[in-house]
Amino acid sequence: MGKLHGSLKVLGLSKKILLVVNIRPDRRNELAEFAECRWCRKKLDGKPYYMGGRAYDPVTRKQANVNFYGGFVCSRECDYRASLDLEQTMPGHGSGQTRPGSFAMQRIKENWGV
């Protein structure tokens, strides 16, 4: 029923409705077995976010911060991009949004001391 075009799967639900779903083949139906950055997918030492606990950057040995929407982030840039990317998919925000909302920005400032 669905045609694959790279990482996009096109589902024809009816003659008038076409649904395109973004599928990441390497991440389909699997939960991470290790901690990773929410944006850049850098492998971190520790348990995955959904299992609780802490994660650490393997190079600097510093504790990874937690994004406003959940998940570990390894840098301020990853924190910013992860928040913005998620908010752009939320109802009422839209893909034209250019910066995270005020609560997410406040959390970024608290995480990274900016």
Please, which residues have CB within 8 angstroms of residue 30's CB and are 6 or more apart in sequence? none
Provide the CA 61 distance to its chain's centre, in angstroms: 22
69 and 107 share one domain: yes
5 and 20 share one domain: yes
Query: Which domain does 76 fall in, by range?
Result: 31-112
Confidence of residue 96 (pLDDT cuts 50, 70, 90): confident
Task: Confirm whether pTM is higher than 0.75.
Answer: no
- Examine the pLDDT at 7 and tell me if it is beyond 80: no
58 and 11 share one domain: no
Q: How many structural domains does the chain have?
A: 2
Q: Give the pLDDT confidence score for residue 24 in this predicted structure.
A: 46
Alpha-carbon distance of 66 to 34, in angstroms, equals 15
- Examine the pLDDT at 19 and tell me if it is beyond 90: no
2 and 38 share one domain: no
49 and 104 share one domain: yes
Question: Mean pLDDT for the chain?
Answer: 81
pLDDT digits over 29-66, tens only? 556 688 999 999 999 999 999 999 999 999 999 999 99
Under a CB-based contact definition with an 8 Å cutoff, are residues 36 and 42 in contact?
Answer: yes
18 and 59 share one domain: no
84 and 98 share one domain: yes
